[in-house]
Structure 1
Amino acid sequence: MYVRSVTARVLALATAWSALALVVIALVISALYAKSSERAFTDLLRAQLYNVINSITIGEDNSLAGNPQLGDLRFSQPETGWYWIVEPLGTFAATPLSSSSLGTSNIQVPSILNVPFNNRYERFYPATDAYGNHVLVAETEVVLDADGRAARFRVSGNLNVVQEDIQAFTRNLYIALVVFGVLSLVVNGLAILFGLRPLDEARRALEKVRRGEAERLEGQFPREVRSLTVEMNALIDSNRRIVERARMQVGNLAHSLKTPIAVLLNESRLLERSQGEVVRSQAEAMQGQVQSYLNRARIAAQRESLLARTEAEPVLERLVRVMRRLNPERSFELVVSPAGLSLAMEQQDVEETVGNLLENAARHAASTVWLSAHASEAPEGSEAGGRQWVEIVVEDDGPGLEPDEIKEALKRGRRLDESKPGTGLGLSIVGEITREYQGELQLSRGERGGLRARLTLPGLARETV
């Protein structure tokens, strides 16, 4: 699964690598220690073997004589697996000698074909004594005198001692590596968090720009991040210049078209009724189309900018005050929740969309118009992208509209009530601006019987942690 967090990704890789490295280290050290312990055990048996050889001689009665002192009490304790044995070879018919730990038992000797002697005339082989102990036997054959009389010398040691030592070492090694691994993971995590802190600071600086609290990415950044912040600041400056240039061009175009259209409208009044009506309707349609495309161009120019920000409550309060002065016979109620709600839109677009809805509601309301704004979910079919959405509802207590009438009302230039003033462009303009911001406009019959207009508009991106 793709991990979006850089910190989590680095921590996961560091943890996986540390765990793998510690496992490999544990296996290698355990194997090396096992080989070293086995080699040391073999060397100990060889040393004990030659101690026994140096302690045995042929006595005056042609018997084996000697009492090896190996300095290990286990050679005198029964059933320990630690034994020494001296057996005469060939025609030398002496009584064998053995340690008191062996008692009356013996250890089977494999054939030379199965376990040959090495170049030092020694051989080592595992065996099992009469008591079930797994032992390692060191053996050699030595000529004891000038007459060629020889004996076989054997010394055995209990292999369980080696295995227990290896297991104890391995257990302690694993415990130490686990503790070391956990501490290393903590230290690595702290180091990674500290090392990636400049990226988090850059993100917070960018959030300030997005929320309109700053115009540029500000702060002290390390060399690796500074180039990124410089490029981001250059992009922000470029966006700002594009927005300003688009606004200037839109203003120039609006100014250049305003006078010719006004002339056409004035001239239409001087013509005959039938001809003047045609010219006037076409001029008004042209005026609406020009305004619509100018709005689209302006919105497209500023929508990609990070600086579009409008506080909802002050703008809506100002619109309500204006509507109260223009419609003293109507009551206007406003509710904004939560406080500080902001829209990712230009202020004039908010005023035009909500203002058209308020004007339409005031025109048809019996006594009261309700306006509310609150946080909402993203409209169906749009990409949330981590941003907040704002729902604005305008409702009146007028006669309302039927579903078929709602479809007609959204068409450009359609007026369902010719007795009321207006051009029929208001709801169409509201829908176009809303769609340009990837929002949604819905009309329905409200609970109070009148028309309920619901706008879903983009808010500011949610701050991520």
Structure 2
Amino acid sequence: MYFRSVTARVLLLATAWSGLALVVIAVVISALYTKSAERAFTDLLRAQLYNVINSITIGDDNSLQGNPQLGDLRFSQPETGWYWIVEPLGTFAATPLSSSSLGVSNIAVPSILAAPFNNRYERFYSASDAFGNDVLVAETEVVLDSEGRAARFRVSGNLSVVVDDVSSFTRNLYIALVVFGVLSLFVNGLAILFGLRPLDEARRALERVRRGEAERLEGQFPREVQSLTVEMNALIESNRRIVERARMQVGNLAHSLKTPIAVLLNESRLLDKPHGELVRSQAEAMQAQVQSYLNRARIAAQRESLLARTETEPVLERLVRVMRRLNPDKTFVLSAPTSGLALAMEQQDVEETVGNLLENAARHATQSVWIEVMPAVAPEGPEAIRRNWIEIVVEDDGAGLEPAEIKEALKRGRRLDESKPGTGLGLSIVGEITREYQGRLELTRGGRGGLRAALTLPGVTKEVA
């Protein structure tokens, strides 16, 4: 259900894309900053190297002389990894010079093959000093006088400076991007909810149509949703026309058959008794069959109508009042919730199904009939799950029926008690109408001794998030 939500899908995709983009941005910026920090560190060592070169000369006693002032206290503090070293080359046998931070130790010089010079006759290589510091060394060789005496100049810097700088920048970058990502996710969620609000408004408008509070989708919708509302209004109007046309055809057919059947019934009274009884029974059967199929056609025409809605409690109260007038010696007890359950059925069909059950219960009850309304468990099937279902139970305190008798009672025209008036069509009609609405009718022996008839009928459609 989570991935069936448009809001959840868009928010999930936006979050995934934003997260991926922020990770890529973090990696790229961190890599660029690392290269920039390394380049700046290399440029700093180069500048320090040439400061040392400019500070060293050959004295009158053929010794190396000079005191480079590099403006960095780390070159005078021991074991810092920041050193400068000047070493004579070739036949120039002078005493090497170095910064006080190096002390009496030295840094190994790699071969030219391992660390070659560039086109500026400089080379940079990594090394470790005697104190365990990882350093980057900038080196060059310079001829100091006209006699060709030369020296190797080296300046080293502690690589932990670069590592710490990059680590601090990366940590701050990740914190900033995480905060930005969370805020972006919040803003994206608000934007998505705001952008999808017209769909929710369209849903509420359709719900008002389903509840019978409006006849079409009304409201101001954006261009992307307007076409959907236009099509929905056209569908509702088409549905309404189909229902009206079906009702008109049913009325016309009923009217056209009403007179011929009435004539047959009247003529059956003029015939001799055996033939008259035969014609009358067949005419009544024809009348019942016609009415049954007309009901089926009408129900099939409007069963899926969005406008079919009947409030349960008012209809049942009206039926109970009628039954109390017709059966003053019987007690009718109605128990219905005050929350207002609505059936997705035409009022005429509700009255016919429940009315038949009440007539049957009143006919066989000793003293009382009970009517109870409650929410019901949905019948099996994918379409049934999408609806709310309502159970209407009618129970009497009469003699009741055995299981075998219940099967017979559901057959059209079967009467188990010939001493009571009736045609034997009531329960059959109830079953047919219930099946047309994809509901359920169950007859059992009730707890009060009589027959218990439980109708499971469709309520209004559930909202699907």
TM-score scaled to structure 2, two decimals? 0.98
Q: Counterpart in 2 of 1:365?
A: 365
Q: Counterpart in 2 of 1:5?
A: 5
Deviation for aligned residue 1:365: 0.7
Equivalent AA in structure 1 for residue 8 of structure 2: A
- Assess if the C-alpha contact under 8 Å between 1:265 and 1:283 holds in 2: yes
Q: Counterpart in 2 of 1:272?
A: 272
- Assess if the C-alpha contact under 8 Å between 1:338 and 1:374 holds in 2: no
Q: Counterpart in 2 of 1:208?
A: 208
Deviation for aligned residue 1:120: 0.9
Deviation for aligned residue 1:321: 1.2
Q: Counterpart in 1 of 2:90?
A: 90
Equivalent AA in structure 2 for residue 133 of structure 1: N
In 2: Cα distance, 1:374 partner to 1:259 partner: 42
Deviation for aligned residue 1:224: 1.3
Please give the secondary structure, in 2, of the residue aligned with 1:151.
Answer: strand
Identity value in percent: 85
5+ residue gaps, structure 2: none
Equivalent AA in structure 2 for residue 82 of structure 1: W
Deviation for aligned residue 1:389: 1.1
In 2: Cα distance, 1:262 partner to 1:418 partner: 25
Deviation for aligned residue 1:106: 0.3
Equivalent AA in structure 2 for residue 231 of structure 1: E
- Assess if the C-alpha contact under 8 Å between 1:309 and 1:344 holds in 2: yes
- Assess if the C-alpha contact under 8 Å between 1:139 and 1:154 holds in 2: yes
1:108-123 paired onto structure 2 within 5 Å: 108-123=108-123
Equivalent AA in structure 2 for residue 143 of structure 1: V
Q: Counterpart in 2 of 1:81?
A: 81
Deviation for aligned residue 1:336: 0.8
1:359-438 paired onto structure 2 within 5 Å: 359-381=359-381, 383-438=383-438
Q: Counterpart in 1 of 2:125?
A: 125
For residues 443-465 of structure 1, give each alpha carbon's deviation from its aligned partner in whole angstroms, at most 9, with x where no partner exists.
00011100000001111124566
TM-score scaled to structure 1, two decimals? 0.98
Q: Counterpart in 2 of 1:155?
A: 155
In 2: Cα distance, 1:399 partner to 1:461 partner: 38
Please give the secondary structure, in 2, of the residue aligned with 1:383.
Answer: helix
In 2: Cα distance, 1:130 partner to 1:360 partner: 109
Deviation for aligned residue 1:382: 6.4
Which region of structure 1 is more displaced relative to structure 2, 421-430 or 385-394? 385-394
Which region of structure 1 is more displaced relative to structure 2, 277-286 or 341-350? 277-286
Please give the secondary structure, in 1, of the residue aligned with 2:388.
Answer: strand
Equivalent AA in structure 1 for residue 428 of structure 2: S
Equivalent AA in structure 1 for residue 320 of structure 2: V
1:296-307 paired onto structure 2 within 5 Å: 296-307=296-307
- Assess if the C-alpha contact under 8 Å between 1:202 and 1:229 holds in 2: yes
Does the C-alpha gap of structure 1 residues 426 and 445 become closer, same or farther in structure 2, counting only changes over 3 Å? same
Tell whether 2:205 aligns with 1:198: no
Q: Counterpart in 1 of 2:14?
A: 14
- Assess if the C-alpha contact under 8 Å between 1:30 and 1:170 holds in 2: yes
For residues 384-434 of structure 1, give each alpha carbon's deviation from its aligned partner in whole angstroms, at most 9, with x where no partner exists.
344221110111111000000000101111111112221111101100100
In 2: Cα distance, 1:375 partner to 1:276 partner: 49
Q: Counterpart in 2 of 1:448?
A: 448
5+ residue gaps, structure 1: none
Please give the secondary structure, in 1, of the residue aligned with 2:275.
Answer: helix
Deviation for aligned residue 1:273: 2.8
Equivalent AA in structure 2 for residue 437 of structure 1: Y
Q: RMSD over aligned Cα, in angstroms?
A: 1.3
Equivalent AA in structure 2 for residue 45 of structure 1: L
In 2: Cα distance, 1:49 partner to 1:62 partner: 22
Q: Counterpart in 2 of 1:457?
A: 457
Please give the secondary structure, in 2, of the residue aligned with 1:3.
Answer: helix
Equivalent AA in structure 2 for residue 405 of structure 1: E
In 1: Cα distance, 2:59 partner to 2:380 partner: 109
Please give the secondary structure, in 2, of the residue aligned with 1:337.
Answer: coil
In 1: Cα distance, 2:130 partner to 2:332 partner: 107
For residues 35-91 of structure 1, give each alpha carbon's deviation from its aligned partner in whole angstroms, at most 9, with x where no partner exists.
100011011111111111111111111111111111111000000000000000000
In 2: Cα distance, 1:381 partner to 1:4 partner: 20
Which region of structure 1 is more displaced relative to structure 2, 253-262 or 405-414? 253-262
Equivalent AA in structure 1 for residue 119 of structure 2: N
In 2: Cα distance, 1:180 partner to 1:63 partner: 61
Equivalent AA in structure 1 for residue 5 of structure 2: S
Equivalent AA in structure 1 for residue 138 of structure 2: A
